[in-house]
Amino acid sequence: MTAPHHQPCAFLDRDDTLIADRHYLSDPDGVELLPGAAAGLAALRRLGYRLVVVTNQSGVGRGYFTLEDVEAVHRRLTELLAAAGVSLDGIYLCPHVPEDRCDCRKPATGMVERACADLGLDPRRSAMIGDKASDVELARRCGMAAILIETSPGAEPDCRPDARVADLTAAAAWLAAHPRPDRD
């Protein structure tokens, strides 16, 4: 059995990975799970992965909406997933704009480091699943598997993920076929 401080995690981008991307989403009524997202999360959970969202939300830093608005969106996401029988272990967000040069905006590692400290996770046994080159770069910086969700054919042509997949269900299937080694 794996010690609690060595748990693997599927770190997940939010927009265009779990939910439909609504440019600068601030209204909980706009939250729409992508087809197969809940099933993919359930498959990841069955593989033994904790589930943590890491999301850049620069709309806060730009003044487009508040942290409370983002929290309401995340409550709605949590409700929709719960209705499908899935729960998240955490949601971490960066509210900064790129110019702030913070330690949390992906591909910086701050959100992953905080989640690992808070939840006892091992990034070396984990995976980052998202639709942007910044998600792949974050995975590289943390020693995780990098899985790119291709929202369109040939998306992010210059990045080099470990796998390019269509959705979370395919990401779970790839991880089942390519397990991360125990690194005790």
The 3-class secondary structure across the chain, one letter per residue, is CCCHHHECEEEECCECCCECCCCCCCCHHHCCECCCHHHHHHHHHHCCCEEEEEEECHHHHCCCCCHHHHHHHHHHHHHHHHHCCCCCCEEEEECCCHHHCCCCCCCCCHHHHHHHHHHCECHHHCEEEECCHHHHHHHHHHCCEEEEECCCCCCCCCCCCCEEECCHHHHHHHHHHCCCCCCC
Q: Is the pLDDT of residue 182 over 80?
A: no
Of these residues, 15, 122, 131, 135, which one is catalytic?
A: 15
Candidates 58, 64, 69; CA nearest to 96 is: 58
Contact 106, 94 (CB under 8 A): yes
| Residue type at 108 in one-letter notation | A
**pTM across the whole model:** 0.94
In percent, the amount of the chain with pLDDT more than 90 equals 88
Task: Tell me the CATH architecture of domain 4-177.
Answer: 3-Layer(aba) Sandwich (3.40)
Domain ranges in the chain are 4-177
Does 158 qualify as catalytic in the annotation? Answer: no
Q: Is the pLDDT of residue 91 over 60?
A: yes
Of these residues, 13, 69, 131, 135, which one is catalytic?
A: 13
Rounded distance between C-alpha atoms, residue 135 and residue 123, angstroms: 14
pLDDT, mean over the chain? 94
Each residue's pLDDT tens digit, 112-159: 999 999 999 999 999 999 999 999 999 999 999 999 999 877 678 889
Positive or negative: CA dihedral 105, 37, 70, 132:
positive
Does 29 qualify as catalytic in the annotation? Answer: no
Q: Is the pLDDT of residue 29 over 90?
A: yes
Rounded distance between C-alpha atoms, residue 134 and residue 60, angstroms: 19
pLDDT value of residue 2: 43
| Residue type at 173 in one-letter notation | A
